[in-house]
């Protein structure tokens, strides 16, 4: 059973930085995409950034230039480096994995940075950014 476990959440002042980690166990797929989503109170879950097995990345517009997604294949760990944080970044951040498609294929099928085809999910890490 694949398990995704997030860590690294916390509270920070606006302009600060945090790094989230997601450790994947029993995730042995060769072709995949992994992503970070977030959900603020009263709002829908939204995709933040994704990376695939070929190393390609994509970001939602509001975090471009501030957030960086990366992965350590050997450690099967996904990261999200978040800089210049804003109060509107406050949310629960979730790690997710699509065990079938690269980002190009996800775009082809219309999934993009959406939750479609993301079969595996972590339980979330809270990020609070105060002004």
What percent of the chain clears pLDDT 70, i.e. is strictly above it? 100
pLDDT the model gives residue 117: 95
Whole-angstrom distance, CA of residue 82 vs CA of residue 122? 18
pLDDT the model gives residue 74: 80
pLDDT the model gives residue 67: 98
Provide the sign of the torsion angle of the four alpha carbons 97, 98, 102, 106, taken in this order. Answer: negative
Low-confidence ranges of the chain (pLDDT < 70): none
DSSP symbol at 113 = T
- The string of pLDDT tens digits covering residues 90-109 is 999 999 999 999 999 999 99
pLDDT the model gives residue 73: 82
Per DSSP, the three-state class of 9 is coil
Place of tokens 């002042």: 13
């Amino acid at each position: 059973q694949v398990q995704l476990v997030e860590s690294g959440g916390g509270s920070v002042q606006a302009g600060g930085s945090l790094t989230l980690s997601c450790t994947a166990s029993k995730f042995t797929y060769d072709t995949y995409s992994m992503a970070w989503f977030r959900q603020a109170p009263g709002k829908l879950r939204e995709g933040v950034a994704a990376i695939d097995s070929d190393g390609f990345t994509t970001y939602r517009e509001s975090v471009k230039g501030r957030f960086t997604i990366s992965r350590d294949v050997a450690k099967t760990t996904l990261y999200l480096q978040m800089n210049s944080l804003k109060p509107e970044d406050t949310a629960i951040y979730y790690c997710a994995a699509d065990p079938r498609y690269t980002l190009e294929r996800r775009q082809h099928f219309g999934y993009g940075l959406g939750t479609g085809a993301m079969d595996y999910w972590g339980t979330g890490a809270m990020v609070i950014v105060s002004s």
